[in-house]
Amino acid sequence: MAGLDGDYIQVIDHIWTVLVLYLSKIVLLVHKREYRWVLSCFNLLGSNDWKYFV
């Protein structure tokens, strides 16, 4: 049973590693998109329209 438990932990560890890698890729993509959105907000603030939002 000890050997099976070790294999089970290795499998879980491998799955967790793959999940973390995929999650980090998704977070990076979302972050890039979010970054563009923030930049567009700053561009909007840079224009004369910012007075309407204050």
Query: How would DSSP label each residue in 1-52?
Result: -HHHHHHHHHHHHHHHHHHHHHHHHHHHHHHHHHHHHHHHHHHHHHSTTHHH
pLDDT at position 32 is 75
Residue 11 lies in a domain: no
> Which residues of the chain fall below pLDDT 70?
1-4, 35, 38, 41-42, 44-54
Residue-range definition of the domain harbouring residue 49: 23-54
pTM for the full model? 0.43
Residue 39 lies in a domain: yes
Q: How many domains does the chain have?
A: 1
- Could you tell me which of 23, 21, 19, 16 has the C-alpha nearest to residue 8? 16
pLDDT at position 24 is 87
pLDDT at position 45 is 61
pLDDT at position 54 is 45
pLDDT at position 7 is 86
